[in-house]
């Protein structure tokens, strides 16, 4: 999916990497290396927001730091340099490189440079240069995990995960959290569903009051897609985040000035009338509302500047 829709939000990528990392730790404790960690070998179970590592076809037993013979099966971009030598020493640090390279790909949408190319002196472009939204701590953790020399990498997955600052990951919502929203949408209670959507997003972000741009940027894309899917399903594609995103992209392409584009967007989705922003309570919460009017995600009765900043950030996300 990354190659099709672009980079993931840092919080979502870290959640998946954390889950895969915990599984790898168990694998390593049983004396096995996976040897082929990459985005294509990670399956996400949508109903559980859970990432699962698959394809153990080239997994092999290993003894840490002991030279052993391994078949040369690998994936360019994700395999460390020692995997290109069938007699090189291997350890948990071998999978650490691949896991770090996978995080590189998830956060940039780009294939990491193959390690043999780096071995000839080509410098790996730091992920933060490709995606400025990546935090300094995660950027450093990726580069440390992708160190060319095995001894310069963290020697275990747990050690590497510690470099990423796990406490900053937004844990996401559980399937049970969406039950009320689903019920309200099914009953066509649009205003209550909109308010529940805002409440869910605040809950997931650990916020009260309103969502900041920083909260939107870190918000798990998986949860945004579930919210969007529910709105589109029960409104027959009349409402939803991707419906709004298409309208926003259309007006942005027609206006160089962001404020003018925002006002035009407000006109299109029915948040403005005759040049004035409507009070939230004055919106048309019926099936006949303008295309893309909901979710409005307004937590007060007015479309304040902070609402514009958060919504523009949300509608500009490439991973919806």
Which residue is associated with the tokens 């650490």? Answer: 96
Instruction: Answer yes or no: 36 catalytic.
Output: yes
User: Using CA atoms, how far apart are residues 238 and 227, in angstroms rounded to an integer?
Assistant: 14
DSSP code string of 247-310 = HHHHHHHH-SSHHHHHHHHHHHHTSEETTEEPPGGGS--STTSPTT------SSSS--HHHHHH
What length does the chain have?
A: 320
Distances 230 to 5, 157, 193 between C-alpha atoms, Å: 20, 36, 10
Judged by DSSP in three states, 131 sits in coil
User: Which one of the listed residues 36, 95, 194, 215 is annotated catalytic?
Assistant: 36
Q: Is 225 exposed, middle or buried (0-12, 13-18, 19+ CB in 10 A)?
A: middle
What own/partner pairs with CB < 8 Å and gap ≥ 24 does 305-312 have?
Answer: 306/210, 306/212, 307/210, 308/262, 309/213, 310/210, 310/211, 310/212, 310/213, 310/215, 310/216, 312/248, 312/258, 312/262
* 52 beta partners: 43
Q: Largest Cα–Cα distance of the chain, in whole Å?
A: 75
Tokens 């990726």: give the residue. Answer: 142
Measured in degrees and rounded to the nearest 5, phi and psi for residue 8 equal -85, 160
CA-to-CA distance for 231 and 248, rounded, in angstroms? 17
∠ CA(83), CA(89), CA(94), 5° rounding? Answer: 50
Which residues are catalytic, by number? 36
């Amino acid at each position: 999916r990354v190659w099709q829709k672009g980079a993931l939000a840092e919080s979502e990528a870290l959640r998946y990497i954390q889950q895969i990392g915990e599984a790898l730790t168990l694998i390593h404790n049983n004396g096995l290396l996976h040897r082929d960690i990459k985005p294509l070998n990670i399956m996400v179970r949508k109903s559980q927001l859970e990432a699962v590592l698959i394809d153990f076809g080239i997994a092999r037993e290993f003894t840490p730091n002991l030279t052993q013979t391994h078949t040369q099966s690998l994936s360019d971009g994700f395999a460390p340099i020692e995997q290109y030598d069938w007699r090189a020493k291997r350890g948990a640090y071998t999978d650490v490189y691949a896991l770090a390279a996978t995080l590189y790909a998830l956060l940039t949408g780009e294939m990491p440079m193959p390690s043999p190319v780096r071995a000839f002196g080509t410098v790996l472009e730091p992920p933060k240069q490709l995606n400025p939204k990546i935090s300094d701590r995660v950027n450093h953790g990726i580069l440390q995990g992708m160190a060319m020399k095995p001894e310069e990498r963290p020697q275990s997955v747990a050690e590497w995960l510690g470099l990423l600052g796990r406490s900053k990951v937004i844990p996401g919502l559980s399937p049970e959290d969406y039950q009320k929203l689903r019920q309200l949408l099914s009953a066509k209670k649009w205003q209550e569903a909109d308010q529940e959507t805002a409440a869910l997003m605040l809950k997931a972000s650990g916020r009260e009051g309103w969502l900041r741009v920083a909260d939107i940027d870190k918000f798990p894309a998986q949860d945004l897609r579930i919210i969007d899917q529910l709105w589109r399903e029960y409104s027959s594609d009349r409402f939803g985040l991707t419906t709004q995103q298409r309208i926003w992209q259309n007006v942005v392409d027609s206006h160089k000035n962001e404020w003018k584009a925002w006002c035009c967007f407000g006109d299109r989705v029915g948040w403005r009338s005759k040049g004035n922003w409507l009070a939230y309570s004055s919106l048309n919460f019926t099936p006949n509302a303008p295309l893309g009017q909901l979710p409005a995600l307004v937590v007060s009765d007015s479309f304040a500047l902070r609402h514009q900043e958060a919504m523009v950030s949300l509608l500009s996300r490439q991973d919806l």
